[in-house]
A and B are shown apart, each in its own frame.
Chain A
Amino acid sequence: MRNVKNQQVIRRIADRTRKAGKSRNIIAVLAIALTTVLFTTVFTVGGSIIEKHQRAVMREVGTSSHAGFKYLTQEEYDIVRKDEKLKEVSCRIFVGSAVNRELAKLHTEISFYEELDARMSFCYPEKGQMPGKEDEIVLSDLTLEALGIPCEIGVKVPLTIQVNEETVEKTFTLCGYFKGDRIAMAQTGAVSKEFADWAAPTPTASAMDGNVDALDYAGRIMADLNFPVEFNLTGQVEELRERCGFPETAPVGINWAYLGDTMDYETIFLVVCLLLIIVISGYLIIYNIFYINVYQDIRYYGLLKTIGMTGKQLRKMVYRQAQMLSLWGIPVGLAVGVVTGKFLLPVFINALQLADVLDAEVELKLWVIVGSAVFSYLTVALSCIRPCRIASKVSPIEAVRFTEGWEEKDRAGEIRRGEKGAKGKKTRHITSWRMAGQNIRRSRKKVMIVVTSLSMSLILLNSVYTLVRGYDVDSFIARRILSDFSVADASLDSGSPSRDSIVTDGVTEEFLEELERLEGVEETGNIYVKDIEPVISEENYALLEERIFENPRAQERWAKYASTEAANAWRKSREMDGRVYGIGKMIMEKLENPEGELDWEKFETGDYVIVTRFWTDDGEGIDFFLPGEKVTVCNEAGETREYEVLAVAEIPYVCGLKTFGVFDCDYILPEEEFLDLMGEQQPMRTFFNVGADQEETTEAWMEDYCEHVNPQLQYQSKASAEAEFEEYKNMYTIAGSLLAFVLALIGVLNFINAMVTSVLSRKQEFAMMEAVGMTGRQLKQMLCFEGGFYALYTGICSIVISGLVSVLAVKPFGDEVYFFQWHFTVLPLVICIPLLAAIAALVPAVCHRHMNRLSVVERMRRME
């Protein structure tokens, strides 16, 4: 009771005190809101990307459930279903894969789904309903499209289903369909329970030993589970398994989407840095504002203490004011931040090349809002610590005499300095300049805060500029593209996780025919690939033993990528991984780091082969074979041919398969010889150059072709690479300059705040100086010089630190990408510092004019 009462009185005086200072509240609320905007933007953009990424992984995996037990019998499923701690349990019964010829490229699994499971597995029909009758089926529009059947309820769908070792043929009736997802590992089809029971009765033999045969999947129950909370799924699954009494070998799967292993350390580091920058900048301004407010009110706090308010109560009172201001600032900041995030998200999604898998709608999750609010509030609380302490430590007597910067210990220092100065130096003329310098020294801490706050935005701006300027469009394009245009199957460069779904012979005959008819094409070149391991003779293997297996640098690389075991297995079986490429003249000329002569005429004869190198981790190549040695290449039928090594070289990154193995011992044959040996096949990629005047029309033609004629094909052009580059650059430019802008706003706000309060708090001092003969002009000059000092210190500070940051942080960060070339620059500073100086001189001048509205006598009287 007692406590409650005195809380009330503190609350009352805190609220009344806050309400008494409207204009400064606006500044404080603005500062809190700005900080919140920064946090919310980061959380909204980051949160949306994480959320979307998680959803994309779920779509790929094919379920949103947390985890699942696989291949259960009915008996086992009943045990799981009765578990009371699970939030949701549902299941599907696997029947088989659809093996219609049309579905060869679109893996489609047929199962019976419970309704909940269908929803979790993204295959609940959007049109129509779940299968009820025996012959009813739900399929994705992708599957239907591949089958050449229209999306209409009631159409007949003949399917051939592989159930274990048997095939079942049946004509189903479409009772519903949903939108299929290309990134999913498999398309799904839902059939009735009746059909599932008939075609694939659930076996009674348990598969708990974990060694279930792929030919025994049919009829087994896949239980999908949702736990009450999303954390520690591995542990929860483990506990569940024990509760159910299943052995350790029980086949279970945890949805990767929830495992969160997609975050790498670099990203985490960047995020932490970003949050830290915001906390610091937020701290700087909020702290400064509260600090100044408390100092302005110090006599007031002293008075309160005199009449009996304890330090603790004073601290509570200041803190309460901050809390109430946050109540305004944080919601405003949240709202603005979400809107900013909405605008920024598409920029990031595009630049990070996630647009293929993610849409750009903001995902407003509760934790995004709560997280931003918590971080903002934390910053406010942090900023309050010292002002609270100052208020609580105020001495009732000192407070009455207080003027900023003349604390007891400072005074002692001042005296000491004064004595020393008097001994060492002659008396000098008093100038506005020197007085300004003295005044600045009176409140070092404040100067430090304002200078740091102003410098931060400049340093950031400079760093972003250095980074963005370093991105070199030519080296970006050179690495991206060998020719004006290149065409390949869309899956090739999609970064798809399943290697089997990559099409390596996707450039169609139709396209090549069209290309031949196309006007303005000056040069074309194809590259073919066959994923077939090299045949290595005993003699050659001895060479490899010596050159590769025994090479410590090779072993180092294997150790680093945890592939030592794999390498040893290859060694034991006397084999290697590698592929055979077939290339045209145009590609041969682009091969990198050739050793030996690259003579097309000689190469074309079909007697020669070009071999790639083994790459160590530090980017040095070790030759598998040397020019002049003989190697053997075989085709799928087992036919072998021997070739002499013409040269050693690398395939440019953009031409190749863009995946890496343990050795990558690749053989390169001329186009004709390749096709002769391997049999006719379509190229993996086709490159072509056009005349300069044809670039635009060709671009339009390609775009149309890849969009309408054959959507399976994807093209890359100089223009599209340039656009991609611009997007990447834009992300840094927009995000960086936005952050720099907000920081600059904070810095300037801080400066204005500092300047205004310093003028206000010295009103009487100025009046006194005017009274003894300092002219208004001199006074104004002195104030402008004071502002100038801030600008000067900021300039020095930002140039020095920017330089260090540029060398120590920006350069290593930029060097991570191959198209970055570091140049030292302080150009943004050179442009911004005069601007800053102008503001620094202007603000005091305005303050002075404002102050001068009252006469000297009036101002002096206010002293009392």
Chain B
Amino acid sequence: MNVLRTEDLKKYYGTGASQVRALDGIDLEVKQGEFLAVVGTSGSGKSTLLHMLGGLDRPTSGKVYVDDKDISGLKDDALCIFRRRKIGFVFQSYNLVPVLNVYENIVFPVELDGNEVDRAYVERVIAVLGLENRLTSLTSQLSGGQQQRVAIARALASKPTILLADEPTGNLDSQSSQDVLGLLKVTGEKFGQTIVMITHNEEIAQLADRIVRIEDGRIVKGGERDA
């Protein structure tokens, strides 16, 4: 079953001679529980793609379906609610809320939604990521690898349909990178989480179930699952 699907997705910036075609007709399908890596060089359009998938930005044309629901036409606040319920983000720069402690950061999107936190589930996630002893720390007291683990926990806490990771190891040394990627993979399998990861690093991409290569806003390899 496809949880994520795009149809002829386009994103253009500017007009005329200076027009930039960041995405130029992307058709992509992601299956429930799949770990997909999107690979491309700097400027290939991979980050723009992630923004579209996560509802952070709106496409110029084309559609994005999450759980068979078209999100490209949603209003700002509706998109926001969609994000916190359906999408978990893991960014290169962690993007944790500095004024909240580790636990508060993890449950923040759930609480924003006004929902009861599924404590048992969150505790399992925390255990898997090895954060039990750090729950009351402020994020500034953590190392980069630990911060990224918090970010992963936060992304998982709301049981999102898709976890989107944008260069999750970009700011980490190689040892931490290994840890984080391993955990990403493990949690994905353990919790049956669909993951879309963006990276420029071929080696990292090898961890994924499937690799899609993107160049100049087009998929050059691996668009259809059976290709």
B80 contacts which chain A residues (CB < 8 A)? 305, 308-311
- Is there contact, CB below 8 Å, between A309 and B56? no
Interface residues in A302-349 by Cβ distance below 8 A to B read: 303-313
Per-residue CB proximity of B85-123 to A under 8 Å, as 1/0? 100010100010111100010001101111110000000
A835 contacts which chain B residues (CB < 8 A)? none
Which of A300, A312, A396 has the most chain B CB within a 10 Å cutoff?
A396
- With A303-B95, A304-B97, A306-B89 as contacts: A9 and B84 at CB distance below 8 Å: no
Interface residues in A202-220 by Cβ distance below 8 A to B read: none
Asked if B77 is at the interface of the complex by the 8 Å CB criterion, the answer is: yes
- Is there contact, CB below 8 Å, between A307 and B77? no
- Is there contact, CB below 8 Å, between A13 and B99? yes
A2, A307, A312, A397: the one contacting B84 at CB < 8 Å is A307
- Is there contact, CB below 8 Å, between A308 and B114? no
B83 contacts which chain A residues (CB < 8 A)? 306-308
Per-residue CB proximity of A65-97 to B under 8 Å, as 1/0? 000000000000000000000000000000000
- Is there contact, CB below 8 Å, between A311 and B114? no
Asked if B200 is at the interface of the complex by the 8 Å CB criterion, the answer is: no
Asked if B134 is at the interface of the complex by the 8 Å CB criterion, the answer is: no
B95 contacts which chain A residues (CB < 8 A)? 303, 306-307
- Is there contact, CB below 8 Å, between A308 and B109? yes
- Is there contact, CB below 8 Å, between A13 and B100? yes
A304 to B100, CA, bound (A): 12
Shortest CB distance A403–B (Å):
17
Asked if B186 is at the interface of the complex by the 8 Å CB criterion, the answer is: no
Asked if A3 is at the interface of the complex by the 8 Å CB criterion, the answer is: yes
A85 to B16, CA, bound (A): 79
B57, B115, B154: the one contacting A307 at CB < 8 Å is B154
Per-residue CB proximity of B33-65 to A under 8 Å, as 1/0? 000000000000000000100001100000000
A343 to B104, CA, bound (A): 51
Asked if A5 is at the interface of the complex by the 8 Å CB criterion, the answer is: yes
Asked if B81 is at the interface of the complex by the 8 Å CB criterion, the answer is: yes
B56 contacts which chain A residues (CB < 8 A)? 306, 396-397
- Is there contact, CB below 8 Å, between B76 and A9? no
- Is there contact, CB below 8 Å, between B113 and A308? yes
Per-residue CB proximity of A1-25 to B under 8 Å, as 1/0? 0110110111011001101100000
A395 to B56, CA, bound (A): 8
A393 contacts which chain B residues (CB < 8 A)? 76
Closest to B95 in A: A303
Which of B85, B99, B100, B109 has the most chain A CB within a 10 Å cutoff?
B99
Shortest CB distance A17–B (Å):
5
- Is there contact, CB below 8 Å, between B100 and A310? no
Interface residues in A571-592 by Cβ distance below 8 A to B read: none
State which size class the interface on B falls in.
20 to 34
Interface residues in A814-834 by Cβ distance below 8 A to B read: none
- Is there contact, CB below 8 Å, between B81 and A308? yes
Closest to B55 in A: A396
A9 to B154, CA, bound (A): 15
- Is there contact, CB below 8 Å, between A17 and B99? yes
- Is there contact, CB below 8 Å, between B112 and A313? yes
Closest to A9 in B: B111
Shortest CB distance B42–A (Å):
15
Closest to B51 in A: A397
B85, B99, B104, B112: the one contacting A6 at CB < 8 Å is B112
A19 contacts which chain B residues (CB < 8 A)? 99
- Is there contact, CB below 8 Å, between B89 and A307? yes
A2 contacts which chain B residues (CB < 8 A)? 114-115
Interface residue count on the A side (C-beta < 8 Å): 29
- Is there contact, CB below 8 Å, between B111 and A310? no
A12 to B112, CA, bound (A): 11
Which of B51, B57, B95 has the most chain A CB within a 10 Å cutoff?
B95
- With A9-B108, A311-B76, A397-B56 as contacts: A16 and B114 at CB distance below 8 Å: no
- Is there contact, CB below 8 Å, between B99 and A308? no
A843 to B100, CA, bound (A): 35
- Is there contact, CB below 8 Å, between B111 and A5? yes
A307 to B158, CA, bound (A): 11
A20, A308, A396, A397: the one contacting B112 at CB < 8 Å is A308
Closest to A6 in B: B114
Closest to B81 in A: A310
A350 to B70, CA, bound (A): 74
B100 contacts which chain A residues (CB < 8 A)? 12-13, 16
A306 to B76, CA, bound (A): 11
B51, B85, B99, B115: the one contacting A20 at CB < 8 Å is B99
- Is there contact, CB below 8 Å, between A308 and B76? no
A307 to B51, CA, bound (A): 13
A305 to B113, CA, bound (A): 12
A607 to B99, CA, bound (A): 99
Closest to A3 in B: B114
Closest to A17 in B: B99
A313 contacts which chain B residues (CB < 8 A)? 112
Interface residues in A256-286 by Cβ distance below 8 A to B read: none
A8 to B112, CA, bound (A): 9
B57 contacts which chain A residues (CB < 8 A)? 395-397
Closest to A314 in B: B80
B104 contacts which chain A residues (CB < 8 A)? 12
- Is there contact, CB below 8 Å, between A20 and B109? no
Interface residues in B24-39 by Cβ distance below 8 A to A read: none
A397 to B58, CA, bound (A): 11
B97 contacts which chain A residues (CB < 8 A)? 13, 300, 303-304, 307
A20 contacts which chain B residues (CB < 8 A)? 98-99
B112 contacts which chain A residues (CB < 8 A)? 6, 9-10, 308-310, 313
Shortest CB distance B144–A (Å):
12
B76 contacts which chain A residues (CB < 8 A)? 310-311, 393
- Is there contact, CB below 8 Å, between A310 and B51? no
A12 contacts which chain B residues (CB < 8 A)? 100, 104
A311 to B95, CA, bound (A): 18
A309 contacts which chain B residues (CB < 8 A)? 80, 84, 112
- Is there contact, CB below 8 Å, between B111 and A6? yes
A303 contacts which chain B residues (CB < 8 A)? 95, 97
Closest to A5 in B: B114
A30 to B113, CA, bound (A): 35
Interface residues in B151-207 by Cβ distance below 8 A to A read: 154, 158
A393 to B154, CA, bound (A): 24
Shortest CB distance A312–B (Å):
6
B108 contacts which chain A residues (CB < 8 A)? 9, 13, 307
B99 contacts which chain A residues (CB < 8 A)? 13, 16-17, 19-20
A10, A300, A307: the one contacting B109 at CB < 8 Å is A307
Closest to B48 in A: A397
B114 contacts which chain A residues (CB < 8 A)? 2-3, 5-6
5 shortest interchain CB distances as A-B pairs: A308-B84, A6-B114, A16-B99, A9-B111, A2-B114
Extra A-B contacts (20), CB below 8 Å, given A2-B114, A2-B115, A10-B112:
A5-B111, A5-B116, A9-B111, A16-B99, A20-B99, A300-B97, A300-B98, A303-B95, A306-B91, A307-B109, A308-B83, A308-B85, A308-B109, A308-B113, A310-B81, A311-B80, A395-B57, A396-B56, A397-B51, A397-B56
25 A-B pairs in the complex with CB atoms less than 8 angstroms apart = A2-B114, A3-B114, A5-B115, A8-B111, A12-B100, A13-B99, A19-B99, A20-B99, A303-B95, A304-B97, A306-B89, A306-B95, A307-B83, A308-B80, A308-B81, A308-B85, A308-B113, A308-B158, A309-B80, A309-B84, A309-B112, A311-B76, A311-B77, A313-B112, A395-B57
